[in-house]
């Protein structure tokens, strides 16, 4: 009986050994990857300040629940993009130009439709009348003996003076349009447009310098499983993109256009803008769009095998929604007050480097002495706490 009792006690003790071992695990275990003794330590008052990426934004407590660190920024809300309007800012099969939504575009469209086309029609009609008059009046049956008159002064003056007047009539409004197009007002926003083979990237230097990359959305049957594909809310086929270029309505936006590889062309028909993107060269253009909406364009310079798959989608939003979109991208609006640091941030930076970088000792382990300042050592030394360095390099504590 006593033997059976001792056997049961021993069996219970063996079964409880793993649980006891788990209970000795510290609540905040040390990082899995520790720097080697010979690795150079980052300079600065604390290891966390020197390497912000080493400090996680969220920690896991003993129960496995995720706890957000006090200094972690909340996740940015998603931005609700607008759906395009059919017939606005996109090709719709019409004959002629798209509707224009910029001052320069409206002036150029009126110059083209109301003046150039009318002048071309009048000149064509005049030439047709002269041709018919000549064919009837000077046909062989009505004029058997042709005239041999030459050097008619009146005729020579007319056919010299009329073309000059026509060219002047074209040049005056054309030069005025060029002046408006290439003498922009002060810009409210600057966007850097970069052409790549075969996609576009956009940088916002006025809003923190963030960058977005824009690629064409594939059709549902062509997209890989689990990836995003085009819908009618994104735009027409071959023109919809995954990241739109967003600008505020009613503001002067300056585009700085360049390329990373070959010559591309940044073209937006509804804005009357088409600017080449040349490697190593910064070209400029500008727009001012008053009507919010979604507008589509394409690369207009043969740039390689996938030239036809470089669409441009510009979404014009109100200034308030533009500020919201910038916040979702991690950017800032000009003049915005930066976030105030926590009140105890100064106290956190005054903590000893050894206290921050040293891992918590395991239960029952012998206490570890704090590191002391190391003396200069020869290259290749392996003394803990002393980094490998050149003979004349200063020692980093």
pLDDT at 43 over 50: no
The predicted-structure confidence for 184-220, as pLDDT tens digits, reads as follows 899 999 999 999 999 999 999 999 999 999 999 999 9
Name the one residue in this structure whose structure tokens are 């071959």: 238
Nearest to 253 by CA among 202, 206, 183, 188: 188
CB neighbour class for 297 (10 Å; exposed up to 12, middle 13-18, buried from 19): buried
- Euclidean distance between CA atoms 89 and 281, whole angstroms: 28
Whether the link from the prior residue into 198 is cis, omega within 30° of 0, is yes
The predicted-structure confidence for 68-84, as pLDDT tens digits, reads as follows 444 444 455 678 898 99
Roughly how many angstroms between the first and final C-alpha of the chain, as a whole number? 66
Domains in the chain: boundaries: 93-136+157-183, 189-328
The CATH-assigned architecture of domain 189-328 is Sandwich (2.60)
SS3 labels along 98-153? CCCCCHHHHHHHHHHHHHHHHHHHHHHHHHHHHHHHHHHHCCCCCCCCCCCCCCCH
Q: Which of the residue ranges 74-83, 139-148, 212-221, 355-364 would you say has the lowest mean pLDDT?
A: 355-364
pLDDT at 17 over 60: no
Helix, strand and coil content of the chain, in percent to the nearest 5, comes to 30, 20, 50
């Amino acid at each position: 009986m006593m033997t059976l009792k001792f056997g049961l006690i021993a069996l219970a003790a063996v079964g409880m050994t793993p649980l006891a071992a788990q209970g000795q695990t510290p609540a905040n275990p040390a990082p899995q990857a520790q720097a080697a003794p010979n690795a150079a330590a980052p300079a600065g008052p604390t290891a966390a300040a020197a390497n912000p990426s080493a400090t996680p934004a969220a920690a896991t407590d003993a129960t496995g629940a995720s706890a957000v660190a006090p200094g972690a920024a909340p996740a940015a809300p998603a931005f609700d993009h607008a759906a395009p309007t059919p017939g606005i800012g996109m090709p719709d099969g019409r004959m002629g130009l798209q509707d224009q939504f910029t001052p320069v575009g409206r002036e150029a469209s009126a110059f083209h439709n109301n003046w150039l086309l009318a002048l071309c029609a009048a000149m064509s009609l005049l030439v047709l009348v002269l041709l018919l008059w000549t064919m009837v009046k000077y046909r062989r049956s009505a004029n058997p003996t042709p005239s041999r008159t030459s050097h008619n002064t009146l005729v020579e003056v007319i056919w010299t003076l009329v073309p000059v007047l026509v060219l002047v009539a074209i040049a005056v409004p054309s030069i005025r349009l060029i002046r408006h197009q290439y003498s922009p007002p002060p810009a409210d926003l600057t966007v850097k447009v970069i052409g790549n083979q075969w996609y576009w990237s956009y940088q916002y230097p006025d809003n923190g310098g963030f960058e977005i990359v824009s690629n064409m959305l594939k059709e549902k049957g062509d997209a890989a499983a689990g990836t995003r594909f085009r819908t009618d809310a994104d735009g027409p086929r071959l023109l919809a993109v995954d990241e739109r270029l967003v600008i505020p309505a009613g503001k002067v936006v300056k585009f700085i256009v360049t390329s990373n590889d070959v010559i591309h062309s940044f073209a937006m028909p509804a804005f009357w803008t088409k600017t080449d993107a040349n490697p190593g060269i910064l070209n400029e253009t500008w727009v001012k769009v008053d009507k919010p909406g979604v507008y589509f364009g394409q690369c207009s310079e043969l740039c390689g095998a996938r030239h036809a798959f470089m669409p441009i989608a510009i979404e014009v939003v109100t200034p308030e929604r533009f500020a919201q979109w910038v916040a979702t991208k991690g950017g800032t609006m000009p003049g915005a007050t930066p976030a105030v640091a926590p009140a105890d941030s100064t106290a956190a930076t005054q903590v000893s480097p050894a206290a921050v970088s040293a891992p918590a000792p395991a239960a029952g382990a012998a206490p570890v002495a704090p590191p002391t300042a190391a003396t200069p050592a020869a290259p290749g030394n392996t003394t803990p706490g002393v980094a490998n360095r050149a003979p004349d390099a200063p020692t980093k504590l």
